[in-house]
Structure 1
């Protein structure tokens, strides 16, 4: 296939690596974003966010070679494109209702520049039915074009994790479902031209080798993404409840989980202090929006939301005299290690739970200077003595953490089993505890 003109709408932690991937395959890519600072950084060959493996070098190369440029004019970028890929966030309100404002605006901008013969692909995770029921009529109204006749519309969910996007693009099959069979075929042809796939012998043995997988419809592709991510939330909730029971009976749940997972019919996840990020806390809500009768999904979401308060209760019980009136340090503002992102991070409910227990919370994170923490509404740590600490994000820097790094600390609750237990063993007056530990 000859090089394509592609527009990627949304240059965030997933959209920018995707644009770079397309450009690295030899295609001409324009990235569109509403943030001028992001556009400026991309045009300078500088990632606007840190720690995405391989992005720095690849971005510099494709920009220098003229294969990727960025703009704030989405409609103009779409007008020159044969394929448009949208990777714009969808968030939920407090009651779980999807907030389509950002995607509505992006869709309207795409519609204003849309021309006949273009492929439009949504990669943002959506509730079932939204591609056909919301985006198709909105694109038609804004462009005067008819889906299926004048342009092809597909849903193809991103299935990658920030920090390892390029590796995951190669590792996992690309799912594509269109609003009609011709659109599905068109979308599959596009993704075969812009992605690379590692061999997956186990998939080949099943008769479906790694690559592009065509699903029967946009709804099937939307459902697949919600199902795979909701499964993870439910599995984590089960692990968290097992961990709480293990705490009560004095058993190490990590050893139990390893024993269970030694045969292929069990895949117990690890318990954790919080479930954060744009994906796992959000997508079960999108599923529940479609299927409010899903009691298992609703109970799992509630169980995971309880974990920060439960963890602070464990910490309170482990410190002689309790944490009331004491300084408590929360280690990690990011929702997970190595990623500078606080979306739905456990740091926020942890800080509130520490305050509710009568203690003074502080927050530290190797990726966030004090001023950025303060701007997030978090009490930045300035080296004050603390009686207790709770590790919320598994940053690699914390593997070297020792009692001497935290003046006055008497108890550390490692909510991610990230720290080295040998560094905490045998230190007089100091305890290291974990969730679901003996």
Structure 2
């Protein structure tokens, strides 16, 4: 259930193992694309050929009728997004609707697995009850119920499915064993001798442990990024290049510092710490990290002003609307607070992105670059196309703020190039 950037590759993976898979989605255009063997989104490695193969073989079809699909299934995997509102509270509307649709078709003996990241206790405390109410069946007795978080990154889903252990925790021991059996049948794993329990399916003590594990691993990344972003500010004050420091620190196995960046975007890292805080509002470290990362776009604009001077009336082009390079997705992208901060500084802002047409940017509420010569540039997303850009491509540019350290300094002679944590 859910044929987005995670759900569709999962469906293709399952079908590729010889199973008969139905992908359910509420978007008719997505269903139509899948049924013709065409990916509804670009740049997912190996998806196009594997989707075409499984559809042509009759092992994968798509439908908008979730209830009918659930009624004919031995296993139902739900990968519908959970978002948060402005206050950081989870909005369960989409997942509740998906759960109710599944419940209406649920049969005895079916396995239901949630892969969407959830607050701790949600599977047992919320969805088990909804499934029982909609089906008349008892969770654990009549159907198995587990949580098994997705641990993949868009653009490399198939590789990540092989690379990382699959965590499974059920509402009871029988559910956990059933879920583990299912995932062993639909996934492949590369050997990982470095792991204490090897690679493959890891059975956890329950749904709550699996929910907690997903929130913890993602919140760790947000806190790590916040820490290194704080280090970047200090490096700029004392005139030290933080990249050199990070490389030195990470030369021994007890330091795993990330790299500073102009923004933290996407469906995961900006969202999941909020889901954790919903459970544990007293987690001051988590809250401080999230707030620190949200301040980086404004800090970056301050660096730009320090290098260029007042930005009032200055044409500034932002390179990259996507939340990260190579991905056509703007969920929680840093481009939005960055544009807001540039406008607050008085700049005339235009946004350019190789994955978006100008009219698409406008539809997102972003000012498209109109081709007016820019006096300053800000790299917001690390698209690979930006590695080969240089001063020759932007006549008249005086300052480049590379928020991702993706550009080649040698190509920007005559332009002042600054980076976060570069030491000024």
* TM-score (norm: length of structure 1): 0.96
- Runs (5+) with no aligned partner, structure 2: none
Aligned to 2:54: 62
Aligned to 1:235: 224
2:21 counterpart of 1:29: yes
2:353 counterpart of 1:365: yes
Displacement of 1:322 in angstroms is 2.3
Aligned to 1:291: 280
Aligned to 1:272, which of 258, 261, 268?
A: 261
Q: For 2:268 and 2:301, how far apart are their aligned partners in 1? A: 24
2:240 counterpart of 1:255: no
Please tell me the root mean square deviation across aligned C-alpha atoms, in Å: 0.6
SS in 2 for 1:201: coil
2:325 counterpart of 1:337: yes
SS in 1 for 2:287: helix
Aligned to 1:152: 144
Q: For 1:408 and 1:367, how far apart are their aligned partners in 2? A: 25
Question: Deviations along 1:279-310, whole A, 9 cap, x unmatched?
Answer: 00000000000000100000000000000000
Aligned to 1:305, which of 294, 316, 324?
A: 294
Displacement of 1:324 in angstroms is 1.6
Q: For 2:395 and 2:23, how far apart are their aligned partners in 1? A: 47
Contact 1:323–1:387 (8 Å) recurs in 2:
no
The 5 A counterparts of 1:84-123 are 84-123=76-115
Contact 1:154–1:178 (8 Å) recurs in 2:
yes
Aligned to 2:6: 14
Aligned to 1:246: 235
Q: For 2:396 and 2:149, how far apart are their aligned partners in 1? A: 48
2:377 counterpart of 1:392: no
Contact 1:323–1:388 (8 Å) recurs in 2:
no
Q: For 1:418 and 1:434, how far apart are their aligned partners in 2? A: 10
Displacement of 1:383 in angstroms is 1.3
Aligned to 1:198: 190
Q: For 2:395 and 2:93, how far apart are their aligned partners in 1? A: 46
Displacement of 1:382 in angstroms is 2.0
Displacement of 1:406 in angstroms is 2.0
SS in 1 for 2:350: strand
Aligned to 1:215: 204
Aligned to 1:327, which of 287, 307, 315?
A: 315
Question: Deviations along 1:235-273, whole A, 9 cap, x unmatched?
Answer: 000000000000000100010000000000100000000
2:342 counterpart of 1:348: no
- Runs (5+) with no aligned partner, structure 1: 1-8
Q: For 2:13 and 2:213, how far apart are their aligned partners in 1? A: 24
* TM-score (norm: length of structure 2): 0.99
Displacement of 1:404 in angstroms is 2.0
Displacement of 1:325 in angstroms is 1.2
Aligned to 1:436: 421
SS in 1 for 2:194: helix
Q: For 1:389 and 1:349, how far apart are their aligned partners in 2? A: 16
Displacement of 1:403 in angstroms is 1.3
SS in 1 for 2:104: helix
Question: Deviations along 1:377-420, whole A, 9 cap, x unmatched?
Answer: 10001211111111000000000111122232110100000011
Displacement of 1:25 in angstroms is 0.3
Q: For 2:93 and 2:315, how far apart are their aligned partners in 1? A: 40
4+ residue segments displaced more than 6 Å:
none
Contact 1:156–1:221 (8 Å) recurs in 2:
yes
SS in 2 for 1:45: coil
SS in 2 for 1:311: helix
